Structure 1
């Protein structure tokens, strides 16, 4: 094993097919293996649990994700949650804003210059976007709750899914959420960003452009209007 391979292995990398020697393990054994001290074994367990579409497997994978520190086991856990299917969506919603510390805590000073929609920073939101439209009904319910941290991450997921799968009916719940959280600039900034995927939001954006005076919000309005004009 060369240095590069050893490095990947220390981070839990497992090549395709290497999991076959563990296929004799049942669900309970694989769940136990998720707690192995060997990162590669945690990756194998997560990969094989994708074949176990049970609530027990979903909760075990999410529990493992909350404490996992290595890259490849994290990737395998997320892949398995997606492969298991819709059973994973609601438990993932409960983890929005709860895992890791990579989420936006405030509006970043630096503008996002790309024309693509940014991938969510929150690992639960990033996993949920892989379900596409199937995740939207439950993501919308988060907007109705009084949990700003979860709302903030749900907005990222909704915006990303819509940008690549146009869903015009999402405009109203997002704009209602914007007005409910008029004192939360982070949520407002994120919703303004989602409007870049809604041609229907042009009037709303122009109206807000006249009402607010926060520079970064105004910059995000400009960006959303630019993308609307470019793609529509």
Structure 2
């Protein structure tokens, strides 16, 4: 059933009239509107602030990340993520602090079956999803997260890394692959991270990736590992 205009507004979808009503406000007042009780107004404020040249982008990033961590309205979330995805390394670094901490959509255990998608699965974590859609120049920031001891952050950032590299194949270098593989040993007893590594390897059409995937296919005692490795191998071979 098609949503009514009022339903959409309650979910944070703004109209031109919302932009017109807020555009004359100075930036300090507009910042306050990010936490308005009206979802459409929140979305419109984020949109307008993202276009202003007289504001501190670092401050805006901090505010909208805080808002995103408590936001329930779909279109406001989409607007915030759209702004974040246009950011650079500084924005990405701030975003990594929220990995695995927003929402309940993340994997917490191994799935029963592999993805049926014919491309790279979209990350389930909202921050990982946005990081994966950013410019490839933020990749070093994501790789740094792998060196942390936070298993939750590592689990989610692997999704972002794989997605970003898959759609920016120039980033699928041996050096970046080695950085990813560093997580293999550090989290060797974490099945969820090991499974996500199998997926991530599909973004790297390199001999080393294929060797690892073949080894998993031939030796792993965990069915989902073998199945995911086979799926990744097929994706990798077709992109080689």
Alpha-carbon distance in structure 2 between the residues aligned to 1:53 and 1:81: 14
Alignment of 1:109-120 (within 5 A): 109-120=112-123
Shift of 1:84: 4.7
Residue in 2 aligned with 1:12?
Answer: 12
Moved over 4 A (4+): none
What's the TM-score once normalised by structure 1's chain length? 0.93
Residue in 2 aligned with 1:94?
Answer: 97
Unaligned runs of 5+ in 2: none
Which range is displaced more, 94-103 or 167-176? Answer: 167-176
Deviation readout 1:29-85 (Å, 9 max, x if unpaired): 122111111111111111112134422111111111111100111111112223354
Root-mean-square deviation (CA, aligned residues, Å) is 1.7
SS at match of 2:107: coil
Alignment of 1:1-232 (within 5 A): 4-16=4-16, 18-51=18-51, 52-166=55-169, 167-168=172-173, 169-200=175-206, 201-232=209-240
Pairs aligned (count) = 231
SS at match of 1:199: coil
Is 1:129–1:135's contact at 8 Å kept on the other side of the alignment? no
Alpha-carbon distance in structure 2 between the residues aligned to 1:83 and 1:16: 22
Q: Structure 1 residues 16 and 109 mapped into 2: Cα distance closer, same or farther (>3 Å)? A: farther
Is 2:42–2:76's contact at 8 Å kept on the other side of the alignment? yes
SS at match of 1:117: coil
Unaligned runs of 5+ in 1: none
Alpha-carbon distance in structure 2 between the residues aligned to 1:183 and 1:65: 32
What's the TM-score once normalised by structure 2's chain length? 0.90
Deviation readout 1:70-102 (Å, 9 max, x if unpaired): 011111111222335443211101111111111
Is 2:87–2:134's contact at 8 Å kept on the other side of the alignment? no
Q: Structure 1 residues 82 and 229 mapped into 2: Cα distance closer, same or farther (>3 Å)? A: closer
Is 1:50–1:84's contact at 8 Å kept on the other side of the alignment? no
